[in-house]
Structure 1
Amino acid sequence: MTDARAGLTTTDDQGASPLRLPAFRRFLLAHLVSATGSAMAPVALAFAVIEQGGGARSLGIVLTANTVPALVLLLVGGVLADRVSRSRILFLGNLVAGAAQAVVAVLVATGAATTAAISLCACASGAAAAFTTPAAQGVVPRLVPPERLQQANALVRVPRNAVKVVGPVVGGFVVALTGPAWALGWDAVTFVVAALLLAGLRLAGAVSAGGPGAVSASGRGAGIVADLRVGWAGFRSRVWLWSFTLSGTAVVAAWLAGYQLLGPLVADRSYAGAGSWGLVQGAFAAGLLAGTFVCLLWKPQRLVLVAVVTSSGLFLPLAAMGLGLPLVWVLGAAFVAGAGMDVAIVAWSTVMQQQVPDEELGRLNAFNSLGEQIAIPVGYLLVAAASAYWSSGHILLVCSAVILAAGVANACVRDVRLLRRR
């Protein structure tokens, strides 16, 4: 007998490795393809802005333009992930992101790129991410049986992290030798290929395959506002969820403002430019890959506490760069931070999938993502403004202190410490 979830049966396959499930393999391949472009894109985008004369202010504007639409539309994306086909959302979202990245590549290649034009394309990519993020987070529970969730979550991250080890390094040298346009163009191609693979999953919405006219899990009408109210009630009732999200508000903003915004600028001024920044990103990715294999072997009981502690390691590379340590120390700090971050991501994905019903998963993931990302534009703009008065090193040290303090505070929450694996 076939289960309602794509690619999952209720017979012998439930005890098998997720890799034996065709739909899961397809999802894994889409991640691999997309990762080959996404691993190069941050280096290429940062130096596309730098090459057209921009500094911290211009890069902050571009990153903010990418983040704001994602925040504005994220809750709508979470509702749709619980109501309509998740594979359709992933297909359309990846196509939009691919088109936006292709336009940036053409603008950079022709010398027509400006901060405004790049920001407009970043805005389109951010809007697409608002819909694909909640949908993607709800796919794995549809593809594998519950007892294989952590293994499947770790396996999904293997190809992405493996490519990230080499991708940023290759991307850094591609940018250094030929400019950022080629790396951006490849990223656009991989978005399109991933979209075609994800479309074949044919995952219906969690509430009903009938689309917007369906009745929500709350038993009330299926309006977006009603669905959001139900989702908010579920979010608010889980202390471990909202406290982790609140901590993440500070951690994510400080990390991205320090790493994504100031990192390339510090590499350009204090190290060896795009090549050295590619090495830092490669070391972080190598840590992510190491963390993935840890998750394949280790099954901690207190998943939320593990996520809190391991994600706090993000302060290390920011502190290393802020103190002006040699590149080898920055690489080591990036590796440790990456390993901790991947353990945190897998642990958090697993606890969400275990503790939250499938029909609410899209909305609660959206509330979690919104909470963690809502301060990112403020962080970018504050760092960009502070760079006129403070050195990058001092700002990086402040960001690292914020990450560490937020992690310690979250670990003190009782529900975070006591919640155990099902």
Structure 2
Amino acid sequence: MSSARRFTAARPSWAGRNYTLLTAAAVVTNLGAHGALIAAAFAVLQSGGSGGDVGLVAAARTLPLVLFLLIGGALADRMPRHHVMVAANALNFLSQGAFALLVLAGEPRLWQMMLLSALGGTGQAFFNPAAEGMLLSSVSGEQAGRAFALFRMAMNGAGIGGAALGGAMIAAVGPGWVLAVDAAAFAVAGALRAFLDVSHVPERTAGGGMLADLREGWQEFVSRPWLWSIVLQFSVVVAVVGAAESVYGPLVARDRLGGAGPWGLALGTFGAGTIAGALLMTRWKPRRLLLVATVCVFPLALPSAALAVLAPVGVLCAVMFLSGTAIEVFGVSWMTTMHQEIPEEKFSRVSAYDWFGSLSMLPLATAVAGPVESLVGRTAALWGCAALVVTVTAAVLAVPDVRRMTRRTGPAPVAGGAPGAASADAEGPVRRLG
């Protein structure tokens, strides 16, 4: 028997070709991306930039990501999703490769780093909705939750190695080589995604154009209180956690923790926590999907609090591990809910509104992180981040559909139904997805 046939026979029946390729590509991408996040911040600092400059480079990446997400989602529901994904990977390869060359050549200017970061964010804006739609359509049936958990476990496992290796490489050879590795990872991942099979996906019927598609996706989005309320919550959570991770964390690491290595270790333990959470979700099948998921957002306040009190590296790593475990429970539960509630032909558009809302405040938060630190101090800014996470998460628990959303069996509802209310009251078997 050939090695390919032995591999096909060994993998689970639900892990088809697309799922396997998507998982492999995500592993490769995350190996490079987690180190590159640290490298970009330290590239700015090593070039003489300030904390505010780090925030500007981070904002330059997230602003086009927010601006183009909705177009990317509509495009991914109109044409083969893997074509969109491969094109986006190519743009990320080129932009990150140029960023690496710029840093390796020495004396990178702030505007140059901002421009290349913006190109990378543009690629991600088109990639994210297409990738999420492709993943959601790659699995079906009662094993969907387990498939999502294993996908995220593999992806986050790569993130652990990427963050730890990235921090070590920055200390040893500088941030430019870490950015070059990330560029190569995009090239390999794009090649893998080129082999995705979309023949099983029904052909899209001709619609009324891009604006009509966006309106239809918006109607799907606003008709579900559980969906838009959690997206509003995450517009704040992602913004403040992003500011803490992209700006304040590297600064605290530089000033009090010993530099990039300890910060990379802390990010790596967050990744270890996500693996633990994903492993838990391959076994645990909470019946109230979104109630459990929302409660698990509260621990995201802990890393900001630990940075605020200048906790030792060991304590910081411990809270990062806990928050990683908790957010992975949220992530798998969220993907399971989306899979069971959203019609396949609208996955990417609804995902785009999800991404758009969740990331909408991130560019502003990262851009003003430096000025806020100057105004109120780093400690007060970090405590503010923690308080906002707790406040908005508590508010979401007041939404009835969030408290009542129940796991169920059966296909996603057809467009035009009342998915939020119906699923919230359904009493399906506790088949869990993971």
* CA-CA distance at 1:17 after TM superposition: 4.1
Aligned residue type for 2:217: G
Work out whether 1:194 is the aligned partner of 2:189.
yes
Match in the other structure for 2:292 = 306
Say which of 276, 292, 310 aligns to 2:278.
292
Aligned residue type for 1:28: T
Say which of 18, 22, 27 aligns to 2:14.
18
Give the Cα separation in 2 of the matches to 1:378 and 1:279.
27
* CA-CA distance at 1:135 after TM superposition: 0.5
Paired residues of 1:27 and 1:198 also in contact (CA < 8 A): yes
Give the Cα separation in 2 of the matches to 1:207 and 1:144.
15
Say which of 79, 82, 90 aligns to 2:85.
90
Give the Cα separation in 2 of the matches to 1:233 and 1:145.
25
Paired residues of 1:32 and 1:160 also in contact (CA < 8 A): yes
Give the Cα separation in 1 of the matches to 2:180 and 2:66.
26
Aligned residue type for 1:286: A
Match in the other structure for 2:387 = 401
* CA-CA distance at 1:18 after TM superposition: 3.0
* CA-CA distance at 1:367 after TM superposition: 0.8
Give the Cα separation in 1 of the matches to 2:239 and 2:118.
18
Aligned residue type for 1:245: V
Tell me: CA distance 1:204–1:377, structure 2 relative to 1, closer, same or farther (3 Å).
Answer: farther
Q: Which runs of 5+ in 2 are unaligned?
A: 1-8, 409-434
Tell me: CA distance 1:49–1:23, structure 2 relative to 1, closer, same or farther (3 Å).
Answer: same
Paired residues of 1:86 and 1:204 also in contact (CA < 8 A): no
What is the percentage of aligned positions where both structures have the same residue? 35
* CA-CA distance at 1:312 after TM superposition: 2.3
Paired residues of 2:85 and 2:130 also in contact (CA < 8 A): yes
Match of 2:376, SS state, is coil
Match in the other structure for 1:153 = 148
Work out whether 1:269 is the aligned partner of 2:260.
no
> Which whole-Å deviations, capped at 9, do the CAs of 1:158-215 have from their partners, x for residues lacking one?
2221122232122111101110111110100010110010011032696735xxxx42
Paired residues of 1:264 and 1:277 also in contact (CA < 8 A): yes
Match in the other structure for 1:250 = 236
Could you say what the CA RMSD is over the residues aligned between the two structures, in angstroms?
A: 1.6
Paired residues of 1:153 and 1:346 also in contact (CA < 8 A): yes
Paired residues of 1:84 and 1:206 also in contact (CA < 8 A): no
Give the Cα separation in 2 of the matches to 1:246 and 1:52.
36
* CA-CA distance at 1:368 after TM superposition: 1.1
Match in the other structure for 1:39 = 34
Work out whether 1:334 is the aligned partner of 2:337.
no
> Which whole-Å deviations, capped at 9, do the CAs of 1:341-360 have from their partners, x for residues lacking one?
11111111110111000111
Say which of 384, 399, 406 aligns to 1:413.
399
Task: Judge which range, 92-101 or 321-330, deviates more.
Answer: 321-330
User: How many positions carry a matched residue from both structures?
Assistant: 399
Match in the other structure for 1:185 = 180
Question: TM-score under structure 2 normalisation?
Answer: 0.89
Give the Cα separation in 2 of the matches to 1:17 and 1:399.
44
Say which of 42, 50, 70 aligns to 1:75.
70
Give the Cα separation in 2 of the matches to 1:308 and 1:233.
24
Match in the other structure for 2:123 = 128
Paired residues of 1:81 and 1:206 also in contact (CA < 8 A): no
Paired residues of 1:207 and 1:215 also in contact (CA < 8 A): no
> Which whole-Å deviations, capped at 9, do the CAs of 1:103-154 have from their partners, x for residues lacking one?
0110000104111111111111111111110011111232222322111111
Match in the other structure for 1:119 = 114
Paired residues of 1:82 and 1:205 also in contact (CA < 8 A): no
Give the Cα separation in 2 of the matches to 1:29 and 1:357.
26
Match of 2:296, SS state, is helix
Tell me: CA distance 1:364–1:159, structure 2 relative to 1, closer, same or farther (3 Å).
Answer: same
* CA-CA distance at 1:16 after TM superposition: 4.8
Q: How do 1:50-69 and structure 2 match up within 5 A?
A: 50-69=45-64
Give the Cα separation in 2 of the matches to 1:87 and 1:148.
23
Say which of 210, 227, 250 aligns to 1:224.
210
Q: Which runs of 5+ in 1 are unaligned?
A: 1-12
Match in the other structure for 2:352 = 366
* CA-CA distance at 1:383 after TM superposition: 1.7
Work out whether 1:175 is the aligned partner of 2:170.
yes
Aligned residue type for 1:346: V
Match of 2:228, SS state, is helix
Aligned residue type for 2:113: I
Say which of 98, 101, 105 aligns to 2:100.
105
Say which of 349, 364, 389 aligns to 2:335.
349
Match of 2:403, SS state, is helix
Paired residues of 2:18 and 2:197 also in contact (CA < 8 A): no
Paired residues of 2:246 and 2:366 also in contact (CA < 8 A): no
Paired residues of 2:33 and 2:182 also in contact (CA < 8 A): yes
Give the Cα separation in 2 of the matches to 1:198 and 1:43.
26
Give the Cα separation in 2 of the matches to 1:86 and 1:26.
14
Match in the other structure for 1:391 = 377
Aligned residue type for 1:49: V
Say which of 303, 307, 314 aligns to 1:317.
303
Q: How do 1:129-144 and structure 2 match up within 5 A?
A: 129-144=124-139
Tell me: CA distance 1:248–1:205, structure 2 relative to 1, closer, same or farther (3 Å).
Answer: farther
Paired residues of 2:23 and 2:155 also in contact (CA < 8 A): no
Match of 2:374, SS state, is coil
Give the Cα separation in 2 of the matches to 1:250 and 1:204.
39
Give the Cα separation in 1 of the matches to 2:310 and 2:179.
30
Paired residues of 2:72 and 2:127 also in contact (CA < 8 A): yes
Give the Cα separation in 2 of the matches to 1:273 and 1:163.
22
Aligned residue type for 1:81: A
* CA-CA distance at 1:362 after TM superposition: 0.9
Aligned residue type for 1:181: G
